[in-house]
Amino acid sequence: MSGRRSWVGVWLVATLLATGSLAGSQSSCSRTSPPGPSPLSSASAEAGPPIDPPLLAFLSRARSAHHRADAFEEQGHLGRAIVELMRVIDGPLPRPNDPYPETREVLADTHARLADLRSRQGQFEEALSDIQAGLGLAAEPTYFRGHLFEVKGLVEERRSQALREAGDDAGSERARQHALEAFDQAMTIQAKVIESALSEEGPR
């Protein structure tokens, strides 16, 4: 999996478009926006008031950090990419004592990307710590929680391969089983997300 394909970039564009903050610049961003309504479009239409400026600033800052991480990753500088993403994790947050759901989701997805990058460098324990941090932020059965388990499976797959190459067959098998369990959890969560969406849409 390439961290450069992280869904957070698409989600951030959609969120900003939903609030109208990118009015006049949609032509440059529309190719990255997912089809259909954006995550906040219906809420914005019903509630009326736009998201407050600190949250918009956080979303824009996070998106820029992911773009910078993209550039370093493309050059093979995974350590530099990690540094850029940690600026999101360690940086200022809007309403830090009562984070917005959007803030939690972006942080959770950033932890997922960090885990992917760290595991590609063989830093498996650090990667799993990022997964745990992300799961603490994405406690409900959402795309973000499912994605964290998906990345956990990738981390364990890579650890299994590393252990096998080191001659630790027993450890490799344990990691392989952990990978399969994580992928199964990811599938279960994402199925719930799909089923929940279908139930809200109702019969067609």
Examine the pLDDT at 121 and tell me if it is beyond 70.
yes
Longest distance between any two alpha carbons in the chain, whole Å: 60
Residue 181 has pLDDT above 60, yes or no: yes
Considering the segment(s) 3-26+50-201 as one domain, its CATH architecture is Alpha Horseshoe (1.25)
| Residues 3 and 73 sit within 8 Å (Cβ to Cβ) | yes
Residues near 104 by beta carbon (within 8 Å), at least 6 away in sequence = 137, 138
Angle at 142 between CA 136 and CA 144, to 5 degrees: 60
Kindly tell me if the per-residue pLDDT of 55 is higher than 90: yes
Task: Give me the pLDDT at residue 51, please.
Answer: 67
Encoded tokens for 182: 């994580």
Mean pLDDT of 103-117: 98
Q: What are 4-47's pLDDT values in tens digits? A: 444 454 455 445 444 444 333 333 333 333 333 333 333 334 44
The residue ranges of every structural domain in the chain are 3-26+50-201
Tens-digit pLDDT profile for residues 64-107: 999 999 999 999 999 999 999 999 999 999 999 999 999 999 99
Digit-coded pLDDT (tens) for 136-175? 999 999 999 999 999 999 999 999 999 999 999 999 999 9
Length reported for the chain: 204
Distance of CA 192 to the CA centre of its chain: 18
Residue 114 has pLDDT above 80, yes or no: yes
